[in-house]
């Protein structure tokens, strides 16, 4: 199962993530391409700087491979499409190619790559100089996005295959011919990192809902806001509490990211105030809406819950588990459960 997918999407995403065939086997040489003989420059660099990523299988490290080739007269020439498509990432010490795939939940200590970025997740901020790079013309570039669930480092090089099958490697003897990537254990935040703020109360004109309490939930660690990239799972789907007030049957709370109700199914037992979420949406934060269910409406509350579990993926790809409880007040106040 693809760990980047929610439970209801995993199989579909695993099957349809990338239906392209491996390009190195599919690109025919173009007529008129000038033959190249050897590799003059061959670099592998971190495109955004840094060399560290979380071992959560989601965060990506963007690697850029730069190559300049020459002909029999030692003159730089353009790289043909077949050779460009053959560029691969390999283990520096074994020359074993890195697997082309997303990291799945049943993978054990793997490093993998894909050709496309996942814009939901961010790399670590980097403020130093970007090392490496080629100047002049007649060089080609290919980019890879590496992820891992490993707990150790890896040294990577690049390879390129000439039309006759000869393989060339960047490596230890080439400047910027290798790069070492370090995996960190995924960050797991605690209750004090989750900040739940009461925002407002607003009326809601329907036969089933009297009004709404609006809350905002954010993650803050080391005085830095850690954005929430997506909702992985909400259990139960709505947080139910009974009411002692004669006008209200009870209260039910729902969660939204980017004002989207996509993780909710169509068969809820309540009227869902989805549209209100857009007015309070803050990028990277959850909006929680606690609905006051009217007595006599069609809402049904046959049970109440002690707590509510929100499983979210933060902007670095780490899974965070947030537990929400409520006070015994009437109406109840939502709070983060330590």
Q: Residues of the chain with pLDDT > 90: what percent? A: 73
pLDDT 10s digits, 92-147: 999 999 999 999 999 999 999 999 999 999 999 988 888 888 888 889 999 999 99
pLDDT 10s digits, 305-336: 989 999 999 999 999 999 999 999 989 999 99
CA 292, CA 56: separation in Å to the nearest integer? 39
Q: Inform me whether the pLDDT recorded for 232 exceeds 90.
A: yes
pTM: 0.85
More confident residue, 301 or 236: 236
Q: Inform me whether the pLDDT recorded for 33 exceeds 80.
A: no
Count the neighbouring beta carbons within 10 Å of the beta carbon of residue 184. 16
Give the distance from CA 215 to its chain's centroid: 25
| Positive/negative CA dihedral, 231, 233, 237, 238 | negative
3-state secondary structure at position 72: coil
Burial bucket for residue 336 (CB in 10 Å: 0-12, 13-18, 19+): middle
Instruction: Spell 136-167 as b/e; 16+ CB within 10 A means b.
Output: eeebbebebbbbbbbeeebebbbbbbbeeeee
CB 84 within 8 A of CB 77: no
Give the distance from CA 187 to its chain's centroid: 14
Amino acid 137: pLDDT? 83
Query: Which range is least confidently modeled, 23-32, 142-151, 193-202?
Result: 23-32
Boundaries of every domain in the chain: 10-184, 191-336
Tokens representing 71 are: 């002909």
Q: Inform me whether the pLDDT recorded for 32 exceeds 80.
A: no
Amino acid 19: pLDDT? 38
- Rg of the chain taking only CA atoms, in angstroms: 26
Amino acid 136: pLDDT? 82
Amino acid 24: pLDDT? 44
CA 49, CA 63: separation in Å to the nearest integer? 9
Helix, strand and coil content of the chain, in percent to the nearest 5, comes to 5, 40, 50
pLDDT 10s digits, 197-226: 999 999 998 999 999 999 999 999 999 999
pLDDT 10s digits, 169-180: 998 777 899 999
End-to-end CA distance of the chain: 31
pLDDT 10s digits, 248-258: 989 999 999 99
pLDDT band of 194, cuts 50, 70, 90: very high
């Amino acid at each position: 199962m693809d760990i980047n997918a929610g439970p209801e999407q995993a199989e579909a995403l695993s099957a349809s993530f990338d239906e392209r065939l491996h390009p190195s086997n599919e690109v025919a040489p173009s007529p008129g391409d000038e033959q190249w003989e050897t590799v003059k420059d061959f670099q592998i660099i971190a495109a955004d700087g840094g060399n560290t990523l979380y071992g959560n299988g989601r965060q990506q490290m963007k690697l850029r491979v730069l190559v300049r080739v020459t002909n029999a007269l030692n003159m730089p020439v353009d790289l043909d499409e077949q050779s460009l498509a053959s560029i691969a990432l390999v283990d520096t010490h074994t020359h074993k190619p890195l697997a082309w795939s997303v990291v799945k939940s049943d993978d054990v200590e793997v490093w993998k790559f894909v050709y496309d970025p996942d814009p939901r997740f961010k790399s670590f901020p980097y403020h130093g100089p970007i090392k490496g790079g080629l100047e002049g013309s007649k060089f080609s570039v290919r980019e890879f996005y590496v992820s891992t669930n490993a707990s150790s480092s890896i040294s990577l090089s690049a390879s390129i295959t000439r039309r006759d099958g000869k393989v060339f490697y960047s490596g230890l003897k080439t400047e910027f011919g290798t790069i070492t990537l370090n995996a960190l254990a995924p960050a797991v935040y605690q209750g004090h990192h989750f900040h739940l703020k009461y925002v407002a109360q607003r009326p809601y004109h329907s036969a089933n809902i009297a009004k709404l309490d609006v809350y905002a939930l954010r993650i803050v660690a080391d005085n830095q806001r850690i954005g929430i990239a997506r909702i992985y799972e909400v259990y139960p789907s709505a947080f139910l509490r009974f009411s002692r007030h004669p006008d209200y049957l009870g209260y039910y709370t729902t969660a939204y990211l980017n004002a989207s109700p996509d993780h909710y199914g169509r068969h809820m037992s309540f009227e869902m105030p989805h549209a209100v979420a857009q007015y309070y949406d803050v990028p990277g934060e959850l909006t929680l809406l606690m609905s006051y269910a009217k007595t006599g409406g069609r809402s049904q509350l046959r049970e109440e819950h002690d707590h509510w579990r929100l499983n979210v993926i933060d902007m670095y790809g780490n899974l965070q588990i947030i537990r929400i409880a409520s006070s015994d007040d009437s109406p109840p106040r939502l709070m983060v459960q330590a």
